[in-house]
Structure 1
Amino acid sequence: MKYNLYKVLGTLSVALVLFSACTKEYEGIEAIDQRNIREYIQKNSLTGFRDTLGIHYQIITPGTGSLLNYTDKVFATFSAKSLDGTFDLKDDGLNRFAGFLGYFSNENGNNYPKAFSTAVKEILKKKGGTIRIIVPSQIAYGRDGNASLGIPGNASLDCIVKIYNVNNNTEFEDLFVKKYISDKNITGLSRLSSGLYYQILTPGSGDDITAISTVTVAYKGMLTTGTVFDQSTSFKTDLSSTIPGWIQGVPLIKKGGKIRLIIPPSLAYGSQVRETIPPYSILDFDIEILEVN
């Protein structure tokens, strides 16, 4: 009987030691996160930060209008970098989110830190604002990190999130198209209601081109960086099998005509990952119609 009692007490002691060790490990990670964040703020001479919900934050631009709910649709861009600099994702307009605020997290298969939706809803609160948040690893990507993005485990992140004061995706994309046009000093463009920008260089002549026409074209396609991602001196295709921007833009001219198309992502490849075209890319095409069938 005494032996069994000692055995039970021994088992309980081991269990308590293991439980205590697990508790200390969790608290240790939390403490490490907070120490790293404090050191990062001090090292980089950051001022004006507050701490709430476990997030250090600074409102760069206050939002306007009514309070946001998780069921509201938001349009956002963001940057994110690890405190040690091993990961650095810049806000180049390609890192974006368009959807319900409640889905602006890494839940539901999305690749965003858990803290994004919380910070926007509980701290920034309104559209049109920008917030900088330093996110502890537990509410970023946790101990596993995110291998697909190159984020190591237990990495706290310094992020800037901007919520745009727009109501739909066409308005959202148009902001970036207009910026590209302005930055490149492009003039003489017209715009369709779909968001497609075009400039007819030579109208051409002959029969009208329709969405079901077969055309032979010479073309060059560029990204907003100036990188040529595709070109051809003679390409035959059914217009209906091309991207929406071509289907809408090419019929604006005829055989022998030349046109420039600046195509927003939703009329190109959207969020698709392609070998030479990043997701959410604006495409700039020069097109000449050689033949129409």
Structure 2
Amino acid sequence: MKHFFTRFFLPCVAIVSLYACDKTYDTIQVEDDQQIQTYMQQNNLTGFTKDTSGVYYKVSTPGQGTQMQYSDKIPLVITMRTVDGSISATDTIINHYADFLGYLEKYRLPKGIQIGVKEGLKNRGGVIRLIIPSNLAYGRNGGTTYFGQTVKGNESLDVTVRALDVTGLPAYDDISIKKYMAANNLTGFQPTTTGIYYKIGEVGTGSPIAADSLLTFETTGKLLNGTIFQQPNAVSLPLNTLIPAWQELLPLIKGGGTIRMIVPSKQGYGTAGSSTIPAFSCLDFDIKVTDVAVDD
């Protein structure tokens, strides 16, 4: 009997153990969708469409421009937050992107943005809100965003994207500048036909400034969120090497003069920006020209 029990019982234990270990786990796509569904319910988010990729999207402003392709350079204004609220990047002054739509991942921006903008928004000039699953964001391991924040693994994102048409940038810049001036009580500024707003503090009594002048100047340069990117240290440069706004307006003053100008992106560093200035940024310059000489 003992021998029979041993022969019968041990195989049964093995069979039970085999079935007990045969546990199924949800895929990352299923986990992401459950996380997104919970987030949307908690925040009463309705009217979203689910793309076949798993991205949820809702167009708040339909684009009126031409249809976007991955091979197009598209100026984007992006706000981004994780669904758990741990990360928030919502500064529309610096959250700018202006390279090819198909290059977003190269710049550490989620593939879900690329999919949502092209397949959901479709046309330039519109605004779209995206709920992006982690597998189309920063994945299981997380990562650092284009804007410098660190997103933990398995974290879905709530993203809003404004896709600008390059032809509409002057109007967008003008709205941004007027909001900035109103918020900071900046009065007495004169507009130019190129979209610059300026105010002369002192005309100056020194030499006139010409296109071929070598200028020594001090300037404070700021983004419209108040971030200072240039401190007032003395610098000497030919006028014809400076940004278009300076070439246009500095001849209005002389040596010893001061001028403040709020500059649209086209008259500053353009769509591309620079190493310290985000793409298509409007800028605030306070300038004092301390010396004017002839450039040899």
The bucket for the TM-score relative to the shorter chain is 0.7 to 0.9
- Matching residue's letter, 1:70: Y
CA RMSD of aligned residues (A): 3.4
Q: Which 4+ runs in 1 deviate beyond 6 A?
A: none
- Equivalent pair of 1:196/1:264 in contact (CA under 8 Å): yes
- Matching residue's letter, 1:60: S
1:56 aligns with 2:56: yes
For residue 42 of structure 1, what is the aligned residue in structure 2? 41
Question: Which has the larger displacement, 206-215 or 138-147?
Answer: 206-215
Where do 5+ consecutive residues of structure 1 fail to align? 1-16
Q: Tell me the CA shift for residue 200 of structure 1.
A: 2.7
For residue 190 of structure 2, what is the aligned residue in structure 1? 189
Q: Tell me the CA shift for residue 171 of structure 1.
A: 5.5
1:130 aligns with 2:131: no
1:32 aligns with 2:62: no
Distance (whole Å) between structure 2 residues aligned to residue 65 and residue 239 of structure 1: 39
- Is the partner of 1:155 in helix, strand or coil? coil
- Equivalent pair of 2:138/2:154 in contact (CA under 8 Å): yes
Change (3 A) 1:100 1:222: closer
- Equivalent pair of 1:98/1:169 in contact (CA under 8 Å): no
Map residues 192-211 of structure 1 onto 2, 5 A cutoff: 193=194, 195-211=195-211
- Matching residue's letter, 2:234: F
Distance (whole Å) between structure 2 residues aligned to residue 123 and residue 41 of structure 1: 18
Distance (whole Å) between structure 1 residues aligned to residue 255 and residue 137 of structure 2: 55
Q: Tell me the CA shift for residue 34 of structure 1.
A: 0.9
- Matching residue's letter, 2:85: G
1:68 aligns with 2:65: no
Task: State the TM-score, normalizing by the size of structure 1.
Answer: 0.75
Map residues 232-251 of structure 1 onto 2, 5 A cutoff: 232=232, 235-240=234-239, 243-244=242-243, 245-251=245-251
Kindly provide the CA deviation profile for residues 242-266 of structure 1, in whole angstroms up to 9, marking residues without a partner as x: 7514444333311232211223456
Task: State the TM-score, normalizing by the size of structure 2.
Answer: 0.74
- Equivalent pair of 1:81/1:158 in contact (CA under 8 Å): yes
Map residues 80-91 of structure 1 onto 2, 5 A cutoff: 80-91=80-91
For residue 100 of structure 1, what is the aligned residue in structure 2? 100
Q: Tell me the CA shift for residue 161 of structure 1.
A: 1.0
Change (3 A) 1:88 1:215: same
Question: Which has the larger displacement, 213-222 or 253-262?
Answer: 213-222
Distance (whole Å) between structure 2 residues aligned to residue 219 and residue 74 of structure 1: 31
Q: Give the number of aligned pairs.
A: 266
Q: Tell me the CA shift for residue 85 of structure 1.
A: 1.4
Kindly provide the CA deviation profile for residues 74-99 of structure 1, in whole angstroms up to 9, marking residues without a partner as x: 22211111111121111423111223
Kindly provide the CA deviation profile for residues 44-86 of structure 1, in whole angstroms up to 9, marking residues without a partner as x: 2222222222112222222224433334442221111111112
Distance (whole Å) between structure 1 residues aligned to residue 61 and residue 235 of structure 2: 50
For residue 15 of structure 2, what is the aligned residue in structure 1? none
Where do 5+ consecutive residues of structure 2 fail to align? 1-17
